[in-house]
């Protein structure tokens, strides 16, 4: 499953959980909009931390970089925001902090030349 789909599933999972806690327990989830926050960022970080502790729950390629990208997407409500922020920073700094030979995708995934097209799908 592409990383963007994993991010969407995780975000939707937390949104559903937030609604269920509110509906069935009658309280706002800590760190969520029903708990007084402007976004789900705090609750999402907590959720991802718990998910990382459960063996096999997240895909094998999952790293802490993915946590950060998920939170950016949740905060901005835009699945392309990590790429947009990288492009903006590149324009400001004039360079990228990773190889600029096409081996790094806009979402931060490293793709080796020998991986071929299968690495992209």
Task: Using CB atoms within 10 Å of the CB of residue 91, give its burial: 0 to 12 exposed, 13 to 18 middle, 19+ buried.
Answer: exposed
User: Which pTM value belongs to this model?
Assistant: 0.63
Residue 109, Ramachandran bin (φ over 0: left; ψ between -120 and 50: alpha; else beta): beta
- 4-30 pLDDT, tens per residue? 888 888 888 888 888 898 888 889 989
- 52-78 pLDDT, tens per residue? 999 888 999 998 888 888 878 877 888
């Amino acid at each position: 499953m592409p990383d963007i789909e994993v991010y969407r599933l995780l975000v939707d999972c937390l949104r559903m959980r937030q609604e269920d806690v509110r509906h069935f327990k009658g309280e706002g989830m800590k760190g969520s909009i029903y708990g007084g926050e402007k976004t789900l960022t705090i609750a999402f970080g907590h959720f991802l931390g718990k998910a990382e502790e459960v063996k096999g729950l997240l895909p094998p390629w999952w790293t802490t970089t993915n946590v950060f990208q998920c939170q950016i997407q949740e905060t901005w409500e835009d699945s392309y925001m990590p790429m947009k922020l990288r492009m903006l920073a590149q324009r400001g700094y004039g360079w990228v902090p990773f190889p600029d030979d096409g081996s790094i995708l806009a979402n931060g995934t490293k793709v080796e030349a020998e991986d071929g097209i299968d690495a992209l799908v």
